Homo-oligomer: A and B are copies of this chain.
Amino acid sequence: MTRILVSEVGPRDGLQSIKQVMPLEAKKAWIAAEAAAGVQEIEVGSFVPPALLPQMADTAELVAFARTLPGLNVVALVPNAKGAARAVEAGVHGMSIPFSMSETHSIRNVRKDHPAMLAEIRAVAEIASAGGVHFAVGLSTAFGCTLEGAVSEDAVVHLAEAAAEAGAQEFSLSDTTGYADPAQVRRLIRKVRGAVGDMLTSLHLHNTRGLGLANALAGLDEGITTLDASLGGLGGCPYAPGASGNLVTEDLVLMLNAMGLDTGINLEKLLEVRTILRDALPDEPLYGFTPDAGPMLDYNERIAK
């Protein structure tokens, strides 16, 4: 059975676009309940300046809490070296920096052009290495950008290569804006693999145009083993207009489990975690087909019949 890591990014990517600040205790309950349902990696927050994103001000406390949960890989997003130092101090297992393939988006989002980002990646890599922390780079807007339009696939390959040279240990291709299609997912994975090989392990997909699961399938076909998703499809990128809608964790797990892939996640328990979100964020819409549609047929029953 192929093992697939579903990485829950809701506490970071989901919450960062939501105005209402989720109380620390509710975040803890959410993280603990997902871990109890079998989720093995959670991005608990991001080490951005609290003044910029008050929602993420408690990330260090969440890291400390999540580290007490057995078997959970605790990761956080860092925008720069300053954030990376805070992440290491807080005790993360891993951290990732978003590196926007669209230079326009990068400048708009973090006020850094590509050379400045590569310098930042080198600095973060040194901090990660010194702290014994895993360091991944998320190649964001890799499938297109609402500001720049199409993004050159060759440019993505070259930037991934440069980031590897700067010290990245792992890569994710990120469909920040919901522009990816399955043919492009396959093409870009092959191209980027040609440059950085098996360091490309992960996809961060949005479901803006309903293609999230089809894109995930395309990634699995190309050997992707980590898929990001957000419980209830919470959130998106506040800096890319119209880029709402993370891949829904529940629907992704339904698909993977139905395909006989090993996620280690109990879907019924995962569905129960939605009540924590609903209670803490009553004004936020929750997405997903799985809660209404009822369970799938059991994979083993299906194979046996």
**A interface residues (Cβ-Cβ under 8 A, vs B):** 144, 149-153, 178-179, 181-184, 207-211, 213-214, 216-218, 221, 242, 248, 251, 254-255, 258-260, 288-290, 293-294, 296-298, 301-302, 304-305
- How far, in angstroms, from A178 to B296 measured CA to CA in the complex? 9
Contacts of A288 in B (CB 8 A): 210
* Cβ-defined contact, B297 with A149, below 8 A: yes
A213 to B183, alpha carbons, bound, how many Å? 13
A271 → B minimal CB distance (Å):
13
> Could you say which residues of chain B place their CB within 8 Å of the CB of A182?
217, 255, 259
- The reply to whether B183 and A259 form a contact with Cβ atoms under 8 Å apart is yes
A184-B302, A210-B248, A210-B254 known, 16 other contacts, Cβ within 8 Å: A178-B293, A179-B296, A181-B296, A207-B289, A208-B289, A208-B293, A209-B254, A209-B289, A209-B290, A209-B293, A210-B288, A211-B251, A211-B255, A211-B258, A214-B214, A242-B294
**Distance between A204 CB and nearest chain B CB, rounded to angstroms:** 17
Residues on the B chain within 8 Å of A293, using CB: 178, 208-210, 242
A181-B255, A208-B293, A255-B214 known; A150+B301 contact, CB < 8 A: yes
What residue of chain B has the Cβ atom nearest to residue A290's Cβ?
B209
- CA separation between A151 and B298, bound complex, in Å? 11
Task: Give the CA-CA distance A151 to B304 in the complex, in Å.
Answer: 10
Report copies per complex.
2
Q: With A151-B305, A153-B305, A217-B217 in contact, is A209–B178 under 8 Å at CB?
A: no
A78 CB to nearest chain B CB (Å): 29
For the complex, what is the distance from the CA of A207 to the CA of B255, rounded to whole Å?
12
A297 touches B210 (CB 8 A): no
CA distance A184 to B288 in the complex (A): 21
Closest to A261 in B: B183
- Chain B residues lying within 8 Å of A297, measured Cβ to Cβ, are 144, 149-150, 179
Asked whether, in the complex, the Cβ of A258 is within 8 Å of the Cβ of B290, the reply is: no
Taking CB as reference atom, which chain B residue is nearest A256?
Answer: B181
Give the docked Cα–Cα distance between A289 and B206 (Å): 12
Q: In the bound complex, what is the Cα–Cα distance between A217 and B219 (angstroms)? A: 12
Q: Which residues of B contact A179 (CB under 8 A)?
A: 296-297
In the complex, the answer to whether B301 meets A149 with C-beta atoms within 8 Å is yes
Contacting pair A209 B302 (CB below 8 A): no
* 28 sampled A-B residue pairs with Cβ under 8 A: A144-B302, A149-B297, A150-B298, A150-B301, A150-B304, A150-B305, A152-B305, A182-B217, A183-B258, A184-B258, A184-B259, A208-B289, A209-B251, A209-B254, A209-B290, A209-B296, A210-B248, A210-B254, A210-B289, A210-B293, A211-B213, A211-B258, A213-B213, A214-B217, A214-B255, A217-B218, A221-B221, A242-B294
Kindly list chain B residues whose C-beta atoms are within 8 Å of the C-beta of A221.
Answer: 221
